[in-house]
Amino acid sequence: MKILVFYILINTCLTNNSRVVGLLAQLEKISTEPTESDTARYVTSKILHLAQSQEKIRREMTAKGSTGMEVLLSTLENTKDLQTTLNILSILVELVSAGGGRRASFLVAKGGSQILLQLLMNASKESPPNEELMVQIHSVLAKIGPKDKKFGVKARINGALNITLNLVKQNLQNHRLVLPCLQLLRVYSANSVNSVSLGKNGVVELMFKTIGPFSKKNSGLMKVALDTLAALLKSKTNARRAVDRGYVQVLLTIYVDWHRHDNRHRNMLIRKGILQSLKSVTNIKLGRKAFIDANGMKILYNTSQDCLAVRTLDPLVNISSLIMRKCFPKNRLPLPTIKSSFHFQLPVIPMTGPVAQLYSLPPEVDDVVDESDDNDDIDLEAENETENEDDLDQNFKNDDIETDINKLKPQQEPGRTIEELKMYEHLFPELVDDFQDYDLISKEPKPLVFEGKVRGPIVVPTAGEEAAGNSGNFRKGVVMKENVSPLGDEGDKKPSFMDLAKEDIKDNDRTLQQPLAPGFTAGMRKDYSLPLTVVTCSKACPQVAACGNVLFEGRTVQLGKLCCTGVEIEDDEDTESASSVEQVSVEVSDGPTLHDSDLYIEIVKNTKSVPEYSEVAYPDYFGHIPPPFKEPILERPYGVQRTKIAQDIERLIHQSDIIDRVVYDLDNPNYIIPEEGDILKFNSKFESGNLRKVIQIRKNEYDLILNSDINSNHYHQWFYFEVSGMRPGVAYRFNIINCEKSNSQFNYGMQPLMYSVQEALNARPWWTRVGTDICYYKNHFSRSSVAAGGQKGKSYYTITFTVSFPHKDDVCYFAYHYPYTYSTLQMHLQKLESAHNPQQIYFRRDVLCETLSGNSCPLVTITAMPESNYYEHICQFRNRPYVFLSARVHPGETNASWVMKGTLEYLMSNSPTAQSLRECYIFKIVPMLNPDGVINGNHRCSLSGEDLNRQWQSPNPDLHPTIYHAKGLLQYLAAVKRLPLVYCDYHGHSRKKNVFMYGCSIKETVWHTNNNASSCDVVEDVGYRTLPKILSHIAPAFCMSSCSFVVEKSKESTARVVVWREIGVQRSYTMESTLCGCDQGKYKGLQIGTRELEEMGAKFCVGLLRLKRLTSPLEYSLPSSLLDFENDLIESSCKVTSPTTYVLDEDEPRFLEEVDYSAESNDELDIELAESADYETSTQEEVLSDSDSSRTYLP
């Protein structure tokens, strides 16, 4: 009767309010009255019924501002009635089960964890404890525990660990009770101290009693037990306990059993759980050894190969691959030492730094051991076990940002006295020359003169203008927009690049002699471009050696071997018969060329290398012209990385299949070159070459090892080498096995470059992107912690790619990026100097200094000649602002030199805009800051073994002469009050796409520290953003959103920051050009080529002209017809467009592109084990070939 009256009252009072709100209100009133237990039981049952049936009610009870959760928890804490307790627990289960993590977090925030743990303690005191109550409490705690950061500590303090563990021990056959208990044990184990405590109480042994071989029964319990075991084994103490009891073998046996019997793959999550447990236990050295001893590599290899055909089993393949890679025994590189093969004696050995450390390393430094923390007897609560150091990078912090405002403020520091700086006066004659001896009568442009031949002007390279062509015939040039050739019909002829007879040339003789032998003639063809020597052959030449005498006086320079079968003439209706003397012409596709093969040979003669190179690579001799087709970013075939890793693992499993033969070795000058016809031959003994050792692994697979930078034991990334002796149509796999960066654009569509001599002789003298099945991943080679500078487990990475060669016995060259040698630069500068019009262009080529090995570091000055030698014209000339440019401080960033080439050619051209630009500025350019590094094939350093772009703060004149004197030039300009308007250092970027800039801003740096109050107080001219913004409008490859203007502590000694902070140049930049391609703009989806890079260099110049208009609108104006720009003003509001960069020793931001496993180079990615199936059927695999169909030919 009492309940009936209450029910009537409830129904009448809820006419205008939610029913559940009224029930909760009533529950709150009666929760403190023990005599109202019947009513509480009834009310909670009604709330449970509503919560079970309506999502709206569940949302209402957990909505912001609702007191429903507090009422339920308060009642739960105070009630003595079992049924009321069960009802409330059931309500909580309903709420947290359907609402995801938010509702569980809501319950934690209301104090639910502590109340439930206390309830568990109270319930455990009953003998026997109520089964239903224990099931419900454990179910709720298992749901909310992961959302409570202190849950592990709370559970341990309340004594909950042993309660749950004892329940499992005492009720192993009661699956309904054991299941939520195991779920909660897994949550407990997330805390390492709890995990160790549970392990000591026998939980590991208990789990192995729960799991077992294949069974159709209790699969849910098996799954949860495996999840719990995997969490427990993350503790090293528990992992060692499992190894000591032989459980690694047990896990492998169970896995094989489930693999064999789970034919319909309905128990994929159980199989995955077993693998997760194996992954945890193999985090320790003992576990890895036990895994190897139990034949785990072969077991997982075979089972994973069985799974490849079913895409839904990919998680099993991926985890198996992770385990096998981790357990693959770590090896040292097969080298006598990881230090460079070449040694250069420094004039001064620094007391500190990487070179000093290198000289002090013990002999056994290269020995590699499996380094792990197996001796740690105590697992700390804060322990966070990760397999490799790269995992730590995923959550990097902003602690590299400079936060000291005083350090951020530019403070011009002379550094050197005026007397010391006077040594640079002779490099600035433009400031004192009165031009009395110059012929300045006319400003009319005159044709360029070179060796008595009239030539047309240099034209700005434009990536949009390309030759139409087909691969079989000679290509005709593009009609220039300006400066039509005055030569009439004859001007339409393209220069013949090289004509050679189709004759056999002996493979083993590389010497190209000069003067040319009888039968060879050298001549010039008239053309509107710069001249190019034409070599023609009028009679058979069986041997190159027969062509003449010694090439140089003093030492011989050899040219790489020509194709053994001579020139393959492609089928064409105009081709002569094979019996006649066939001639091949190699054409320049469009625009002028600065290449001269004979001049290049002469310059190489004076280039000094540490190995004393005597050979010249054919691409450098022939030259490179951009191909007439676009090369799209390569789409990555599905699963390519794991396929390559599986092939690597086969080396360990099937060792008898491995040839393991050395076929090239710089460290052993006496090694024998194999004579077998089917073995590739390698070479890198030429300028900028880098290849140290080659090992044949399988018939058509080779491991390649790069040489470290001289006076260093690392920095392996740049490669440039020759391959010969190939057969056409055979897929050759190349693995470069000692790269160091943790990721690469090779994982995101970038291809290596190949240059075919046969193709060059067939009128296609260009580098092309080649290779299929390309990926970049961590391998099993590593450096010792001593050699790695104290970094634990410093692993190497592999670049792997597969190439099929089009021609038999061709000679091909491979490179990381388009090579640009020091000798090429000197040749280009000499051609520019010889060809310029001295009445129009002021051009000086000086020597800034000599490098450590005695090579000259060129310094170029470019501006317009004064209109006359009258006083006002001389004053205008001297008062032009300076622009200071530099490039190639890092030898492996060859794209920086191609951008610089574009800049130089534009500045020397006769176009009206180029002339206007020269009239605006005086350009001081150091086009190659690290000649020695470039010459010797280094990737990052100079001969001092140091990154020169980290020496700008305190350069040593003996060890870093180019930096010391480049900084001296800038200090001199500051001392004479001629501070450059712009300083820009050209770089290349290996892990980002597009072209972008780094600049320096106090305000944006402070903004990134999240100290908004401080950033608001900073007053700063935002002119540093103007030039990048201009470039984003006019340069199709440039991306403003990738630019950053934040100053990091780790970059305080770079050129950009020092020139900004010490010299006082506000517009001080690093311009980074991608090695890969673009993901925005006109070139989106395309790999970058030399045409686009040179265009970027030219566009940079055009940007400077626009900058002049914006910064000096009153004193200077250009006709708008010359610059087709937007009329709107450059936006200059201070807003951050991209995050800063956080890199310790690279001029690169972290690689931020999203990576899935198939592209991931890190070993460990924590894989959450969801209770429900977490896999989906994937789309069909797409495999792309590296064929002409992947290229887009221009119309």
Active site residues: 1072
Burial class (CB in 10 A: 0-12, 13-18, 19+), 912: middle
Amino acid identity at 541: C
Give the CA diameter of the chain: 127
Structure tokens at 1077: 């391609």
Angle at CA of residue 361, ends 608 and 735, nearest 5°: 65
Determine the Cα–Cα distance for residues 977 and 693; give it in Å rounded to an integer: 53
List CB contacts of 718: < 8 A, sequence separation 6 or more: 690, 706, 816, 817, 891, 892, 937, 938, 939
Task: Please report where in the chains the tokens 């006649």 appear, as a residue.
Answer: 580
Give whole-number Cα distances, 466 to 496, 818, 907, 1092, 1194, in Å. Answer: 19, 19, 21, 11, 8
Give backbone dihedrals phi and psi of 147, rounded to 5 degrees, phi first: -90, 0
Determine the Cα–Cα distance for residues 922 and 924; give it in Å rounded to an integer: 7
Q: What is the dihedral of CA 113, 115, 119, 122, to 10 degrees?
A: 120
Q: Is 864 in contact with 842 (CB distance < 8 Å)?
A: yes
DSSP 8-state code for residue 516:
P
Structure tokens at 791: 């970094």
Q: Which of 985, 840, 824, 982 is nearest to 908 (CA)?
A: 840
Q: Is the C-alpha dihedral spanning 775, 777, 783, 787 positive or negative?
A: positive
Determine the Cα–Cα distance for residues 435 and 1001; give it in Å rounded to an integer: 41
Give backbone dihedrals phi and psi of 273, rounded to 5 degrees, phi first: -65, -40
* C-beta neighbour count of 191 within 10 angstroms: 23
Helices and strands of the chain, counted as H and E runs: 39, 26
Structure tokens at 137: 């409490």
Determine the Cα–Cα distance for residues 766 and 628; give it in Å rounded to an integer: 10
Determine the Cα–Cα distance for residues 190 and 484; give it in Å rounded to an integer: 75
Q: Is the C-alpha dihedral spanning 22, 28, 29, 33 positive or negative?
A: positive
Helix, strand or coil for residue 629?
Answer: strand
Determine the Cα–Cα distance for residues 671 and 665; give it in Å rounded to an integer: 7
List CB contacts of 1019: < 8 A, sequence separation 6 or more: none
Determine the Cα–Cα distance for residues 623 and 587; give it in Å rounded to an integer: 11
Q: Which of 638, 701, 652, 797 is nearest to 324 (CA)?
A: 652
Q: For residue 427, how far is the Cα from the chain centroid?
A: 39
Angle at CA of residue 973, ends 972 and 977, nearest 5°: 115
Determine the Cα–Cα distance for residues 77 and 821; give it in Å rounded to an integer: 79
- Orientation of helix 203-210 relative to helix 247-261, angle to 10°: 20
Q: Is 261 in contact with 214 (CB distance < 8 Å)?
A: yes
Amino acid identity at 802: T
Give whole-number Cα distances, 1051 to 255, 400, 969, in Å. Answer: 50, 9, 21
Q: What phi-psi label fits residue 310: left (phi over 0), alpha (psi between -120 and 50 degrees) or beta?
A: beta
Burial class (CB in 10 A: 0-12, 13-18, 19+), 1066: buried
H or E element that contains 775: strand 772-783
Q: Is 523 in contact with 487 (CB distance < 8 Å)?
A: no
